[in-house]
Amino acid sequence: MTGNLFETRTDAEMRRDAITANEARVHDVLTGGGRWPLTERQHRLLECLRGRQGRLQAISISDLVARIGGDPRSIKSDVRELVVTFGLAIVSSRDGENGGYFFAVTAEERISGTADYVKEIVALAERVRIVRNVHDLRTMLGQIGNELGLDAGREAR
């Protein structure tokens, strides 16, 4: 029942919708719908990642280096650029054999794929609090929220 206030979607439906949204965004970026054009290596990287929907489809950084060249640092830099500049939901997993980069399609994948970043943010904020003070940290966090569009009445970028 579409439009029902109490309608619930199954995990499979939410996963399907996330995959569809990821694929549409990749298509948009590959066909020039991003803010800036892709570099040739970013284009090749995105083509390699394109069908990697979900953790079980992850591709290792060593496989990416073998397929598109460069080194692990350049791959990481290009993935960061694809996420930040082009808004793609690419995350990574360090799960041994299944580790590597992939498009997050579940809430759990989004959370686990960004957990290390959250830990780093907290650790850095703790350092600022200790070296400066709580008031400065609160001010900085507010400024960061404004920069990211997290203030009241605005949707995050």
Mean pLDDT, range 9-30, rounded to an integer: 89
Q: What is the pLDDT of residue 10?
A: 87
Contact 68, 44 (CB under 8 A): yes
- Residue with token string 């400024």: 143
Tell me the C-alpha distance between 40 and 46, whole Å. 10
User: Considering the entire predicted model, what is its pTM?
Assistant: 0.79
Tell me the C-alpha distance between 31 and 37, whole Å. 9
Half-sphere exposure of 79 (CA within 13 A, CB side): 25
Tell me the C-alpha distance between 57 and 82, whole Å. 18
Q: What is the pLDDT of residue 11?
A: 86
pLDDT at 2 over 60: no
